Amino acid sequence: MSLLPRSCRCGAAATAARRLLLGPRGRVSGSHVCNQYRASGSLPEGKKEFLQSGPDLQDFVSGDLSDKGAWAEYKGNLKRQKGERLRLPPWLKTRIPMGKNYNKLKNTLRSLNLHTVCEEARCPNIGECWGGGEYATATATIMLMGDTCTRGCRFCSVKTAKNPPPLDPKEPYNTAKAIAEWGLDYVVLTSVDRDDMPDGGAEHFAKTVSHLKERNSKILVECLTPDFRGDLKAVEKVALSGLDVYAHNVETVPELQRKVRDPRANFEQSIRVLKHAKEVQPGVISKTSIMLGLGETDEQVYSTMKLLREADVDCLTLGQYMQPTKRHLKVEEYITPEKFKYWEKVGNDLGFHYTASGPLVRSSYKAGEFFLKNLVEKRKTKAI
């Protein structure tokens, strides 16, 4: 899950209701509630209407805290002006992660000393992916080779160092063991960049896939890899490991590569990685991802999508870039859900086997649901 993203925030209406229901120490106060309602008679009409249309106590009890206002009515700025920091629009506000499956996955990860890009990149979808969605397919993206990267991309919150700690030789086995305990149908393996290693960690990837397939031959494995500094032998090692999906993210349009990514990465190198994976393993499905909202134009996005199809990339995800901390690149524009729908149609028209496009979509977002559903449909129609 490149990613992210990223803190969850409650809406203004939820905040207002919380102040209404809780006393000064965060406890429910009957007299405080009465006083607030009595005082409401002196509130301006607009404030009264705001409070009345917000969530009530039952909404908090049921957990339904969705925004009751229409997204189309949002009046905030979507494009950044000089010196401005954009406010988060309502369609990008997510729930606090919780639930039985979420806690189970988190506890297993900690006990086996494993890392996920979901946590390290502060992904906004962690509660939904780990908890399972409409199809109850829980998807976690395991981050191999530690939690420290040798590169410093300006969009990513994963910590960096020139010489990260050595690899854990037990990690491939422990990863397979954890995934077997979860009973997942689809797993995404990714990693930090390890330019300090001769093969960039390709052998580590291959061992993990091998252990997974030994334990469960039916599990679908996606590897979201670094560019291995353009080392095609390393790409081959991963592509021939028995994986089902080879993913590598181009991240942004060619014109913004230098601004967004580490200088050691570039669009042409990423394209070579994706093309070579399919050359050595024609049956593998290739996948990449683009972040929007970094200042790219529509023409640049369309041109990039065409280049990816010409490189025979099968699957594409498009999502909203969200500034992880103040030290990272600012969001230049918040793309509306309607515009993401447009890009999804463009992707389908260009011939991608599937295009996942939405504000909260990430390269590994709900991979089991998005990919498995589409893969089955394509195979039924003999499109793949």
pLDDT tens figures, 64-74: 444 444 556 66
In the chain, pLDDT over 70 holds for what percent of residues? 60
Residue whose entry in the numeric block shows the structure tokens 């260009």:
350
Q: What's the pLDDT score for residue 2? A: 36
| Residues 67/13, Cβ–Cβ less than 8 Å | yes
Cα angle value 82/88/91 (rounded, 5°): 135
User: How far apart (Å, rounded) are the C-alpha atoms in residues 323 and 325?
Assistant: 6
| Residues 118/224, Cβ–Cβ less than 8 Å | no
Sign of CA dihedral 12, 14, 18, 20: positive
Give the least confident one: 52-66, 74-88, 210-224, 318-332.
52-66
| Residues 66/59, Cβ–Cβ less than 8 Å | no
Q: What is the pLDDT of residues 146-192, one digit of tens each?
A: 888 999 888 887 888 899 999 999 999 988 888 887 777 788 899 99
3-state helix, strand, coil in the chain (%, to 5): 45, 10, 45
Q: pTM for the whole thing?
A: 0.70
Residue 19 has pLDDT above 90, yes or no: no
Token pair in block for residue 333:
């524009």
Separation in Å, CA 276 to CA 240, 253, 270, 312, 331: 11, 20, 10, 10, 33
